[in-house]
Amino acid sequence: MAKQTDNNGNGAKLGFESELWKAADALRSNMDAAEYKHVVLGLIFLKYISDAFEEQHAKLEAEVDSGADPEDPDEYRAVNIFWVPPDARWSKLKDEAKQPKIGKIVDDAMIAIEQDNPTLKGVLPKDYAHPRLDKHRLGQLIDLISNIGLGNKADRSKDIL
């Protein structure tokens, strides 16, 4: 059967669909779809808020002489961007992706984000340290998602879901 195309203009061309398929393939061999979708979507959300945070952080760094404080959570909340604590930032996860404890590192990042952003309390997945999740594949998944740019305002305005 031929692939249907969306002719109504409502579907956003995100530009990272192939990366998502690679991410799903990386987990598919040892998890069912109901499980790995939470793993992938949780990491994509973390990358999304971390990229948005980093974009705002760079702006605030440039405005330090004007009194901006890039490490003040209120600077981010004022523009509807989640505060991401230093140990929960994507760059830290990417640097630690090959470590055997990457699952715990991701879980700790999710917990820290929830603690600093009450609207996310109890929402984020925190089962990346579970034994059934292959840590090598989790590291590969983090590497794949690292190639997806979600931080700039144009990317954030797309309908991802």
- Domain range summary for the chain, segments of one domain joined by +: 18-156
According to DSSP, residue 68 is labeled -
What value does the mean pLDDT take over residues 101-127? 96
88: CB partners within 8 A, 6+ apart: 46, 50, 108, 109, 110, 112, 113
Is this model's pTM higher than 0.75 or not?
yes
What value does the mean pLDDT take over residues 89-101? 96
The letter for the amino acid at 17 is: E
Q: Are 48 and 14 in contact (CB under 8 A)?
A: no
What value does the mean pLDDT take over residues 63-70? 95
Residue 10 scores a pLDDT above 80: no
pLDDT at 4: 43
Sorting pLDDT into bands at 50, 70 and 90, what band is 103?
Answer: very high
Sorting pLDDT into bands at 50, 70 and 90, what band is 1?
Answer: very low
Return the percentage of the chain with pLDDT > 90, whole number: 58
Structure tokens at 73: 């959570």
Give CA torsion, residues 142, 127, 90, 12, to 10 deg.
70
* Top-tier CATH class for 18-156: mainly alpha
Sorting pLDDT into bands at 50, 70 and 90, what band is 14?
Answer: low
Helix (H) or strand (E) holding 131: none
